[in-house]
Structure formats: structure tokens, C-alpha cells
């Protein structure tokens, strides 16, 4: 069978979609309009643009981190820069976790205060300008002015903005089929592998920091262009008043899952330990039990290899079967725990130190991939919002990483790898990993998603969903509490006279509330009210 390429998409010739150029448009807008007219091309174009955006953003995020480390290593041998540069190096990795912590906390704070509208109104061009400015200022502060405190603040700001954007997009991603979450995780891990195995080793041989910076900006611009294309191809809500309805409607109606929170914090601490120890080993800053320095290698290679191994595990375990939370948790217990423990055991041995780091990096990347898939699956089976799951999850995970990174960086700078204190750190990390894997609830608790899984009769769940949707509409249209109560009963099929009996008000008062609510919502009947609520399903 003959096959041809159309707009970069691969189709068999016998099933090739007839995509004609959109009249009146040319260039990129014409391409987007043409793709939007064909369902198959639209689906594939979305996947390509989404994967490209995630890979490019991850690549930029990793380059921003790794290039800063390389620039610092280039000047740390000079006496006048030695002390400030080492201080920056000590808190370089924890500052990334701190930026993620601030980004997640800022999103939750703005959501609670209902102040996200002014953030959503910022155009994409402004966000691109902000990120480019942060990237350039970060480079100038490090390589030209040697202002390490300013560079650290800019590094934190870049991570905070990137995490904020990912949380904002989580709702859109989690609304898609659960299998897409595995593809999202694979795209992010592929960005890590590409940068660490190809880009960073090439840039290490470059003698021009400005060339390195131009590569970083190229990744950022590609990511923004792919994000713009993906956003343009997304379906828009029929009624603009309902654009944020789903985000506001799905809420958590149970107690806080304390065991899940403890799991995230403890695994964050384990990931911080794995990253800190791994970087110290590959850069030759630690010592073996015999007192012989370990051999320094390119620090990006182990992380790239670990990302490739993690991608292989996800492809084998989760893309050929139905993606369920039980399988994700099983992979965490069987693979992530085993790989993390292997690094704890192998790091002190000189002959296998580098394979140990690859093992630990594989465990860290695999856990982050499972975290994305787990958030999506919990969203599917609970009443949590996608943005809320992503924000709270990243908040607790980065909190553990930040605290663990600070402790490990400070401790390892003071002691040698063969000291008793380092042995104590390994024991603590092993205990945290064990507790977070096997002691965060029984199998029954995990099956119920620590109390987050919805458990309603069909009628109960439908009534609850109506109440939540009407509450979101009431907030948008400034309905009074009584008007909201009347609309809930009306949408549940209760007649006006029965509403008066339930609320202990007269039928005339009920009709007045209904007319006022209809006027604020710009509708005229119960049928239009039900259609308005049904559009958000």
C-alpha cells in the first residue's frame, strides 16, 4: 500500500484524508485551520504538538539547570570566584525544588483567593517574553556579572513559572483518556534523555557560553510555538461562561488523605537524596571506602541513561495494557523501590559507582512518570480537580526534595563518603523509601485511593454533580444563596410548589428567585438551564 505525508502526518494512500487549504488564510494559521477540519489529522496533530511542547519545555528546564552547573564549574577553580561559586553549587539543586514548591503554592493560593482570572488574561507573548528575560538574566548574572545570589533567585523564578504553567495545563491533559498520561510521561522523560545524552555533551565541548545560551533559548521558543499550536487545536467550550466550570466544580469531598501526603513527602526526600548523591559521585566530589576519589564523568550521561531505562519500563508495563492505578502502584513497589535500594547498596563501591547512579536516576525518573500517570488516574476515579491534584502533589513532593536536598548537600560537603554520618543518611533514606512504599495504608486503603475514590449511587452522584455545577454558576453569575438553592432543586426535577415546601418559602417567592436567577444567567426555562449544565459534562 502506498503511503504519503500530508502536513507532516503519515497516512495510508487508500485512507488519506482530503485536506484542502482553508480559503482566505495562509501560513501557519492556514495549516491549523486545515488540520482542524479533519478529525484524524486533528488528533495526530494534537499528539505531535503536545509531545513536542513537553519535550522542549523539559529540555529547556534541564538545560537551565545543567548549564548553570557547568558554567560554575568552569570558574570555581579561580581563587576570586571559589567561595561564592561553591556556595551556589551547594544550593543549586535544592533551589530547583524550592522553585517548584513556590510555583505549586502560588497556584493554590491564587485558586483559593479566586484571583486566577488576571493570570489567565496574560497573553502568550507576554509569558514568552518573561521566560526569555529570565533565561537571559540568569545567564548574564552567572557568566558576565558573577552575581550568584541573583542567579539563584532567577533559577527559582524559572522553575516556579514552569511548574505553574504545567499545573494550569493539568486539567486539559487529565480530561483526555487515561492512556494519554503515559504518553505525556514518556514525552517528558524523552526530553530529559535527549538533553542529557545529546545536547549537554555537545555543549560541554563548546568554548562559547553564548552558544550554550542560544541553544537553551531555542528549546524555549520551540516549546512555546508547540504550545500555541496545541492550544489552537483544542476544542473550545460552546458557552464561554462554562470555560472554567469543570475546574471549579470537581472538589474533594472527603478527609485529607494523610497517608498519601506522607508518601509524597517521604518519596520526595528519597528523590532528593538520590539526586544529590548521584551528582556528587559523577562529578568526582566524593570518596570511596578506601579514600580514593571516584572518577568524574559527564554528569548528564547517567541521568540520560536512567531516563531511557525508565521509558523502556513504562513502554513494557503500561502501554500494552489498560492503564489503571493498581498497575501504577504495583510498578512503584516492584521497580522504583528495587532500583532505589540498589543505589543505596552500590554507591559506596568504587567499581560500580556509576552504574549505581544510573540505577538511582532511573528510579527517580520512573517515579516522576508514575506520579503523572497516578494523578491522571486519581482524577478519573475521584472528585478532585486535575489542577488541584497536580498542585498539591507537586507541593508535597517538592517539599520533601527541598528539605532532603538541603540536608544532604550540607552534610556531604562536611563529611567523606566513608564516614559514619553518610552511613546514617543511607539508612534514613532506605527507611523512608520502605515506609513510603509499604507503610502508607493497607491494600484496601490504596484501592480506595486513600478515601478519594467516589462511592455514590447513580442518583446520589448526579445530585452532587448538579449542586457543584450550580455552585460554580452561582459564583460566576453572582447568584444569591437562596437563588442557588432554588436552581439546584429545579435542576433536580423538583416543581416550584415543592421547592417552596422544602425551603419554607411561598410559591411567589420561589418564582421571584427563579426569574432573578434566569435573568442573571440569560436563560428563560428549565430546559435551557439543563442544557447549560449539560454542556459542562
| Residue 25, pLDDT above cutoff 70 | no
| Architecture of the structural domain at 458-534 | Orthogonal Bundle (1.10)
CA 506 to mean position of chain CA atoms: 51
Residue 492's Cβ-side half-sphere holds a number of Cα atoms within 13 Å equal to 21
Which position has the higher pLDDT, 320 or 169? 169
Least confident residue range of 235-249, 472-486, 508-522? 235-249
User: In this predicted model, what pLDDT tens digit does every residue of 389-438 receive, in sequence order?
Assistant: 899 999 999 999 999 988 887 776 665 555 677 778 888 889 999 999 99
Cβ partners under 8 Å of residue 277, min gap 6: 286, 343, 347, 357, 360, 408, 412
Provide the 3-class DSSP secondary structure of residue 3: strand
| Residue 294, pLDDT above cutoff 50 | no
User: In this predicted model, what pLDDT tens digit does every residue of 433-484 receive, in sequence order?
Assistant: 999 999 887 777 788 888 777 666 667 667 777 887 888 788 778 888 889 8
Beta carbons within 10 angstroms of residue 432's beta carbon: 21
Domain ranges of the chain: 41-235+258-451, 458-534
**In angstroms, what CA-CA distances link 151 with 64, 146, 510?**
11, 8, 61
Instruction: Name the pairing type of β-strands 9-12 and 3-6.
Output: antiparallel
Is pTM, for the whole model, over 0.85?
no
Name the grid cell of 182: 503515559
Give the right CATH number for 41-235+258-451 from 1.20.1250.20, 3.40.190.10, 1.10.150.20, 3.30.1330.10: 1.20.1250.20
Cβ partners under 8 Å of residue 485, min gap 6: 503
Amino acid at each position: 500500500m502506498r503511503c504519503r505525508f500530508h502536513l507532516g502526518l503519515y497516512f495510508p494512500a487508500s485512507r488519506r484524508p482530503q485536506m484542502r487549504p482553508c480559503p482566505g488564510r495562509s501560513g501557519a494559521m492556514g495549516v491549523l485551520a486545515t488540520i482542524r477540519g479533519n478529525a484524524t489529522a486533528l488528533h495526530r496533530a494534537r499528539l505531535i504538538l503536545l509531545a513536542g511542547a513537553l519535550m522542549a519545555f523539559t529540555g529547556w528546564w534541564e538545560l537551565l539547570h545543567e548549564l548553570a552547573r557547568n558554567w560554575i564549574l568552569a570558574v570555581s577553580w579561580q581563587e576570586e570566584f571559589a567561595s561564592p561559586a561553591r556556595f551556589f553549587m551547594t544550593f543549586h539543586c535544592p533551589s530547583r525544588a524550592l522553585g517548584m514548591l513556590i510555583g505549586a503554592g502560588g497556584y493554590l493560593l491564587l485558586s483559593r483567593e479566586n484571583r486566577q482570572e488576571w493570570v489567565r488574561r496574560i497573553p502568550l507573548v507576554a509569558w514568552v517574553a518573561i521566560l526569555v528575560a529570565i533565561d537571559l538574566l540568569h545567564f548574564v548574572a552567572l557568566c558576565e556579572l558573577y552575581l550568584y545570589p541573583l542567579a539563584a533567585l532567577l533559577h527559582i523564578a524559572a522553575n516556579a513559572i514552569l511548574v505553574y504553567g504545567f499545573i494550569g495545563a493539568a486539567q486539559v491533559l487529565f480530561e483526555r483518556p487515561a492512556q494519554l498520561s503515559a504518553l505525556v510521561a514518556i514525552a517528558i522523560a524523552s526530553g530529559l534523555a535527549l538533553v542529557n545524552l545529546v545536547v549537554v555533551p555537545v555543549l560541554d565541548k563548546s568554548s562559547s557560553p553564548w552558544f550554550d545560551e542560544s541553544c537553551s533559548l531555542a528549546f524555549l521558543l520551540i516549546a512555546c510555538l508547540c504550545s500555541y499550536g496545541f492550544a489552537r487545536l483544542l476544542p473550545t467550550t460552546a458557552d464561554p461562561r462554562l470555560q472554567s466550570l469543570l475546574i471549579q466544580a470537581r472538589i474533594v469531598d472527603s478527609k485529607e488523605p494523610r497517608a498519601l501526603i506522607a508518601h509524597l513527602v517521604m518519596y520526595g526526600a528519597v528523590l532528593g537524596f538520590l539526586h544529590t548523591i548521584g551528582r556528587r559521585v559523577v562529578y568526582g566530589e566524593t570518596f570511596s571506602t578506601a579514600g580514593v576519589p571516584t572518577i568524574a564523568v559527564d554528569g548528564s550521561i547517567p541521568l540520560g541513561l536512567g531516563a531511557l531505562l525508565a521509558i523502556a519500563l513504562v513502554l513494557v508495563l503500561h502501554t500494552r495494557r489498560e492503564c489503571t492505578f493498581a498497575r501504577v502502584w504495583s510498578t512503584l513497589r516492584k521497580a522504583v523501590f528495587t532500583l532505589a535500594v540498589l543505589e543505596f547498596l552500590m554507591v559506596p563501591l568504587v567499581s560500580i559507582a556509576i552504574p549505581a547512579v544510573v540505577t538511582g536516576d532511573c528510579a527517580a525518573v520512573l517515579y516522576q512518570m508514575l506520579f503523572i500517570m497516578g494523578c491522571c488516574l486519581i482524577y478519573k476515579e475521584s472528585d478532585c480537580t486535575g489542577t488541584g491534584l497536580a498542585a498539591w502533589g507537586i507541593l508535597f513532593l517538592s517539599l520533601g526534595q527541598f528539605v532532603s536536598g538541603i540536608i544532604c548537600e550540607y552534610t556531604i560537603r562536611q563529611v567523606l563518603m566513608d564516614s559514619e554520618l553518610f552511613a546514617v543518611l543511607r539508612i534514613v533514606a532506605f527507611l523512608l523509601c520502605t515506609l513510603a512504599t509499604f507503610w502508607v495504608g493497607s491494600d484496601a486503603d490504596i484501592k480506595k485511593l486513600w478515601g478519594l475514590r467516589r462511592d455514590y449511587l447513580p442518583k446520589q452522584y448526579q445530585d452532587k454533580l448538579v449542586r457543584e455545577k450550580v455552585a460554580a454558576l452561582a459564583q460566576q453569575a453572582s447568584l444569591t444563596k437562596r437563588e442557588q438553592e432554588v436552581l439546584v432543586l429545579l435542576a433536580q426535577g423538583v416543581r416550584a410548589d415543592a421547592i417552596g415546601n422544602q425551603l419554607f418559602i411561598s410559591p411567589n417567592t420561589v418564582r421571584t428567585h427563579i426569574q432573578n436567577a434566569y435573568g442573571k444567567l440569560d436563560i428563560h426555562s428549565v430546559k435551557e438551564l439543563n442544557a447549560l449544565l449539560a454542556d459542562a459534562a
